Amino acid sequence: MADSLRDDERIVLVLDAGGTSLRFDAMQGGRALLAAPHTLPSFGDDLERSLAQIVEGFAAAHAATGRRAVALSIAFPGPADYRRGIIGDLPNLPGFRGGVPLGPMLAARFGLPAFVNNDGALFAYGEALGGLLPFVNERLAAAGSDRRFRNLLGVTLGTGLGGGMVIDGRLVIGDNAAAGQIWMMRHRDERPRMAEEGASIRAVRRAYAAGAGLALDQVPDPERIAQIALGEAAGDRGAAAEAFRRLGQVAGDAIANALALIDGLVVLGGGLSGAVGLFRAALLDELNGRLEAASGTVDRLPFRVLDLDDPAGLVALAADEVRELRVPGTERTIAYAPHKRTGIGVTRLGTTAAIALGAYAYALGRIDEPGEPGAISA
């Protein structure tokens, strides 16, 4: 984490809003102040009740920190006009319809600036600040490698498929406050569908139901399906393993499409990331696969994607095979590393903690640079 953020004594109250729960915390110096996040049910199908819960949660966090906060920072799913703090029509919170000016409401209620951003974007920002990105760069430095990363794609796998991007140390918002919408990419195998329909909790449950010949209401949650796949619970082990393999393929396809534009590290979060051992191989096969071209087959991506949860992957990332090339017409030589590499790994902070850190840094950045998200140094 950047020293400037670690040493910042300002307090920001943060909210991570989900379809079933609202998690409130307070952050100072990039660290949580509350002993544990204050969690309330979201009541997402009842707008008035949900807004009352949000006010109550922030009021409790504000009181617990001596009312010293300088801002509120809210991680909310989209669609939304994040710059203005207006929430749109949310699939997982159906009470939010027609545009809800959540940020302005909270600013008026608490007399503090209130900033809203996408939960996937703030997850990526937090991991860029204090998670996977600095972890990898520190390991590269310790190994004596000159390679450093400044770009990060964050992907959350859970109720939905979320995404966020940090490019050259800056969080990408987008002209329409709609950057990072990886869930809207096409499904790898079912082209009329979105990728989220193959890389989410409901996708795993649907795939297991089909493979095991069960009605959907008879299918357990993904945690149980993962236990079945590992032989730790009764059920159709083959169908469970296949459900996660298919998730890896669909997620890998969407991530590969994004990586072709972003060219950076990838960090996975969300509840399903805990079962990455069941889909990691399929995901990496997709990222490092081949495509057809007029000249024959070519690599899916212009760089190899390594497994950063495997110590051997970190070693390979640092092992630059440098050649010395003679500059034509001169006696000079120049170093050339022909093999391009990047990596993918699971959150180093935990999804909730990464979102909170991202929300904290985003609010301070907006205060210090009005109208712009804060920049970080790699």
CATH at residue 339? 3.30.420.40
Question: Residue 375 pLDDT more than 50?
Answer: no
Q: What DSSP element (H or E) covers 72?
A: strand 71-76
What is the torsional sign of CA 184, 186, 188, 189? Answer: positive
Higher per-residue confidence, 46 vs 374: 46
SS3 191: coil
Q: What is the mean pLDDT of residues 293-300?
A: 94
Q: Taking residues 300-321, report their average pLDDT.
A: 94
State the residue for tokens 């545009």.
99
Q: Is residue 206 part of a domain?
A: yes
Q: How many CB atoms lie within 10 A of CB 221?
A: 11
360 and 250 in a common domain:
no
Note whether residue 123 is domain-resident. Answer: no
Is the same domain home to 341 and 356?
Answer: no
Tell whether the model's pLDDT for residue 220 goes beyond 50.
yes
282 and 257 inside one domain: yes
Residues 101 and 142 in one domain: no
Which range is least confidently modeled, 32-46, 69-83, 332-346, 363-377? 363-377
- Comparing CA positions, the residue from 97, 80, 86, 114 lying closest to residue 46 is 97
What pLDDT shows up at residue 162? 94
Question: Are residue 97 and residue 146 in the same domain, yes or no?
Answer: no
Task: Say if residue 377's pLDDT is above 50.
Answer: no
CB-based contacts of 286, cutoff 8 Å, min separation 6: 188, 248, 249, 251, 252, 253, 255, 256, 300
Tell whether the model's pLDDT for residue 289 goes beyond 90.
yes
Answer yes or no: do 288 and 223 share one domain. Answer: yes
pLDDT exceeds 90 at position 338? no
Q: State residue 376's pLDDT score.
A: 34
**In this predicted model, what pLDDT tens digit does every residue of 122-151 receive, in sequence order?**
999 999 999 999 999 999 999 999 899 999
- Is the pLDDT at 372 greater than 60? The verdict is no
Q: What is the pLDDT of residue 3?
A: 76
What value does the mean pLDDT take over residues 220-238? 97
Given pLDDT bands bounded at 50, 70 and 90, which one contains residue 371? low
Q: Which of 240, 252, 245, 305 has the alpha carbon at shortest distance from 283?
A: 252
Q: Which amino acid is at 356?
A: A
- For 86, the domain range is 3-118+351-368
Same domain, 98 and 203: no
> Are residues 357 and 342 part of one domain?
no
Length of the chain: 378
For the record, the structure tokens of 353 come out as 């903690």
Residue 110 shares a structural domain with residue 182:
no
Q: Is 86 among the domain residues?
A: yes
Token reading at 131: 């998670």
DSSP structure class, residue 378: -
Share of the chain above pLDDT 70, in %: 98
Q: What Å distances lie between residue 102 and 35, 116, 196, CA to CA?
A: 27, 8, 26
Q: Which amino acid is at 174?
A: G
State the CB neighbour count (10 A cutoff) for residue 164.
33
pLDDT at position 378 is 28
pLDDT tens-digit series, residues 232-261: 999 999 999 999 999 999 999 999 999 999
Under a CB-based contact definition with an 8 Å cutoff, are residues 256 and 185 in contact?
no
Predicted confidence at residue 337, as pLDDT, reads 85
